[in-house]
């Protein structure tokens, strides 16, 4: 068995990237239904910097779940080191990746070892290295649950109805706003996999990247407002979301849908008058869906773009990079 301590990134107080510390901490033990994973890479995601910055209650949860000091991170790729007695289907030495315990802040992935629910994990695609695999879980599952299959019955905390994806095929036109980011670049590729015509919106620096991923049309939002250029869309997936999302309502045909990844209030009368749907999903851990996504990654149908990698000890620099924005794909921490 490994030694009983490990290195992990923690914060002892909320604040900017500078509060992240590289600490020696006790090694976790897997409980029922769990495995211990030797981490090779951990993905960096918005909830990591939200919780570091002071968000302690997950939307939809009744109370704060954050206890300081804490190890952030939910996206992991690594090798199974130990398996609880009740776990079937995973063995020591298996290469796995997963989104851990989400929605929630107790993933603990910024570490040399992490305990993971076996049901949150899938086998890492053989043809994909740990860095790229660690970039896939949260962003890939968000795109999957918005566009392909929710895979659970939990409504988003922001709406009463369960999210229902739009059927995507060769007759569907989809606009992805923020197409170069983590969720956006997966959404673009999944919509293309289903045969849809995809319009990608991003800044001009990302045009060649997005056309390589299969974008049929590209709009540079720094030069033109997409809502002035396009109309009669079946679906807009807005990975930027928030109050600015309303401008996309008028780009939809009657019966079309707007899926804002970050929700804001919409004028219900305007939505009804236009005859469109606004819907949101809250991403949840799902090893079975990740296995399906893994098959597309293995086949090269979908690929993970990496904006940059940082050693685990340099998590602060990774968060500083995230704060600068205009990320192309994913930021990943590597563990030696």
pLDDT in tens, 4-22: 999 999 999 999 999 999 9
Residue 1 has a pLDDT of 54
Residue 155 has a pLDDT of 86
- Sheet hosting strand 197-202, strand order edge to edge: 217-220, 197-202, 173-177, 233-238, 252-260, 277-278
Decide: helix, strand or coil at residue 125: coil
96's CB contacts (< 8 A; 6+ apart) are: 35, 37, 77, 78, 79, 80, 90, 116, 121, 122, 123, 124
189-204 burial, b if ≥16 CB within 10 A, otherwise e?
bbbbbbebbbbbbbee
Residue 336 has a pLDDT of 80
Residue 107 has a pLDDT of 97
Strands 330-334 and 306-311: parallel
Averages of pLDDT over runs of 10 residues in the chain (336 residues) are 84 98 97 98 98 93 91 98 97 98 96 98 98 98 98 90 94 98 98 98 98 98 97 98 95 98 93 97 97 98 98 98 97 95
With 0-12 CB in 10 A as exposed, 13-18 as middle and 19+ as buried, what is 59? exposed
DSSP 8-state secondary structure symbol assigned to residue 92: T
Judge if pTM exceeds 0.75: yes
According to the 3-state scheme, what is the secondary structure of 225-288? CHHHHCCCEEEEEECCCCHHHHHHHHHEEEEEEEEECCCCCCCHHHHHHHCCEECCCCCCCCHH
Among 141, 127, 148, CA closest to 295? 127
240/260 Cα distance (integer angstroms)? 7
296/145 Cα distance (integer angstroms)? 15
Residue 230's Cα: distance from chain center in Å?
27
Residue 280 has a pLDDT of 95
40-66, pLDDT tens digit by residue?
999 999 999 999 999 999 988 888 889
Residue 316 has a pLDDT of 98
Token code pair at residue 15: 């604040």
185/200 Cα distance (integer angstroms)? 9
């Amino acid at each position: 068995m490994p030694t009983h301590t490990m290195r992990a990134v923690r914060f002892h107080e909320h604040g900017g990237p500078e509060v992240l510390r590289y600490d020696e901490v006790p090694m976790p033990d897997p409980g029922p239904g769990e495995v211990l994973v030797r981490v090779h890479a951990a993905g960096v995601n918005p909830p990591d910097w939200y919780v570091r910055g002071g968000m302690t209650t997950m939307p939809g949860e009744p109370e704060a779940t954050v206890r300081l000091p804490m190890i952030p991170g939910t996206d992991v790729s690594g090798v199974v080191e130990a398996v609880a007695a009740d776990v079937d289907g995973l063995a020591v030495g298996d290469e796995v990746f997963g989104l851990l315990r989400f929605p929630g802040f107790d993933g603990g992935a910024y570490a040399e070892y992490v305990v993971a629910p076996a049901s949150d994990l899938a086998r890492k695609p053989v043809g994909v290295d740990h860095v790229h695999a660690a970039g896939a879980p949260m962003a890939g599952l968000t795109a999957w649950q918005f566009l392909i299959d929710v895979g659970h019955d939990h409504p988003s905390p922001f709406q009463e109805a369960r999210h229902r994806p739009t059927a995507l095929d060769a007759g569907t036109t989809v606009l992805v706003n923020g197409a170069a980011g983590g969720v956006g670049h997966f959404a673009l590729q999944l919509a293309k996999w289903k045969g849809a015509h995809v319009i990608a919106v991003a800044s001009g620096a990302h045009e060649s990247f997005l056309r390589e991923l299969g974008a049929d049309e590209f709009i540079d939002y720094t030069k033109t407002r997409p809502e002035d250029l396009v109309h009669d869309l079946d679906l807009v997936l807005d990975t930027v979301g928030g109050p600015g999302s309303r401008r996309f309502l008028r780009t939809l045909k009657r019966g079309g849908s707007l899926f804002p990844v970050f929700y804001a209030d919409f004028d219900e009368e305007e939505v009804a008058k236009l005859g469109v749907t606004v819907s949101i999903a809250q991403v949840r851990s799902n090893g079975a869906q990740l296995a399906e996504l893994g098959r597309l990654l293995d086949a090269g149908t979908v690929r993970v773009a990496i904006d940059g990698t940082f050693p685990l000890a340099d998590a602060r620099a990774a968060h500083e990079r995230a704060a600068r924005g205009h990320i192309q794909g994913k930021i990943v921490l590597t563990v030696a």
